[in-house]
Amino acid sequence: MQTLKLVAVSAGLSSPSSTRLLADRLLQAARYRLAEQEYAVDVEVVELRDLAVDIANNFVTGFPSEKLQTAIDTVTGADGVVAVTPVFTASYSGLFKSFFDLIDPAALTGTPVLVAATGGTARHSLVLDHALRPLFAYLRAQVIPTAVYAASEDWGSGGDEYTEGLPARITRAGAELATAVAARPARTQDLDEVVPFERQLADLRLD
């Protein structure tokens, strides 16, 4: 049985946070749909609030900490990514943007990404299209059609006959992510990959 890896990046600052809750529900929806197709699925959540100092230090020193590098490798090595940010000043949070600034522009090429955001009011929902989609388009990711925005009032509403509620949007987005992940060709090692000199030295020490 093929095992797929789904990773969520949550930029929520509080604990618990609605941003993390949305990330968990989107992961669950995608995992459920993949399990129906008889895939084994590993899921992991990268909490950016725990990496805030490491991210800032990276910009100053130019070198990631071991913990930050592990998080970057986890995201870039995923078969599918859920990226969720709170809305600050009508856009993604600075912490969210700073983390993805540290990822090589080609590292997410072709990776299915589900974008989502949380905020206090539905008026900020356009952040999905004017900020998040362009960011991941630049990173050459495959952004799935359905993006999910959750305002405060959405958590207690199931929708009505005219309006699709948050649970239905989560289910639809999760299904689209699962379809994109399942359709993606299996990763193969690039024989022409350039191995950084530091990694070559590390490998020699292990030998």
Sign of the dihedral defined by the CA atoms of residues 144, 128, 56, 46, in that order: negative
Phi, psi of 47 (to 5 degrees): -90, 110
Name the helix (H) or strand (E) containing 92.
strand 91-92
* Antiparallel, parallel or unpaired: β 142-143 and 148-151: unpaired
Predicted confidence band at 189 (pLDDT cuts at 50, 70, 90)? very low
Euclidean distance between CA atoms 168 and 205, whole angstroms: 52
Roughly how many angstroms between the first and final C-alpha of the chain, as a whole number? 33
Predicted confidence band at 202 (pLDDT cuts at 50, 70, 90)? low
Overall pTM surpassing 0.75 (yes/no): yes
**By mean pLDDT, which of 1-15, 116-130, 160-174 is the weakest?**
160-174
Domain edges within the chain: 3-206
Euclidean distance between CA atoms 43 and 81, whole angstroms: 10
Specify the pLDDT at position 120: 86
pLDDT tens for 133-147 read 999 999 999 999 999
Question: Which CATH number applies to 3-206: 3.40.50.360, 3.40.50.150, 3.30.420.40, 3.40.630.40?
Answer: 3.40.50.360
